Structure 1
Amino acid sequence: MVNEMVSKMTSVCWDKCITSAPGSKFSSSESSCLTHCAQRYMDMSMIIMKRFNSQ
C-alpha cells in the first residue's frame, strides 16, 4: 500500500511540476513545486485515512 501511494504521488507531482525534460538537477521552482506537491498529497492522504477510520 505504501509503495502504491509513493508511486502515485511521484507520478502526480512529476506531471504537475516537471514541464520540460529535466536537466542534471531540478531548478529551484521545480524543487519547490515537488516539495509542496508531496506535502499536500501526504496531508490529503492523512485526512482521507482519518475520515475512513472515524466511520
Structure 2
Amino acid sequence: MDNFDNFSSSEKAEATELQRLIAIEQQKAQFQAQVHTFTDVCWDKCVDSPGSKLDYRTETCLVSCVERFIDTTLTITNRFTQMVQKGTH
C-alpha cells in the first residue's frame, strides 16, 4: 500500500477506498479479458460457418471448450494460490 503518513484520517480512508474500487475494477477487466479470450479461442475452434442456430456438434464443442478453459484457469489459479501460501508460511 502507498505511504499515507501525510494524509488526515479521512483522506487516508478515501485513498484506501479508492484503491479498493480500483482493485475491483481491475478484477472486472481481467474477467472480461478472460471471457473475450475464451470466446475467441472457442469460436475459432468450434464454429465452421455461423448460421441461425447452432448444430449439436458446434454446441457440444463450445460447451466443452469453455469448460476446459474454466477448468484450466481454476487449476492455474489454485496452483498460484498454493505457491503464494507456501511462500508466506
Q: Which runs of 5+ in 1 are unaligned?
A: none
State percent identity of aligned pairs.
39
Structure number with higher relative contact order (C-alpha < 8 Å, ≥ 6 residues apart): 1
Number of equivalent positions = 54
Structure 2 counterpart of 1:17: 46
Q: Report the CA distance between 1:7 and its aligned residue.
A: 0.4
Report the residue type matching 1:23 in the other structure: G
Q: Which runs of 5+ in 2 are unaligned?
A: 1-29, 84-89
Q: Distance in 1 between matches of 2:76 and 2:48?
A: 29
Compare CA radii of gyration and give the structure with the larger one.
2
TM-score (norm 2): 0.59
Matched, 1:54 2:82: yes
Q: Report the CA distance between 1:52 and its aligned residue.
A: 0.8
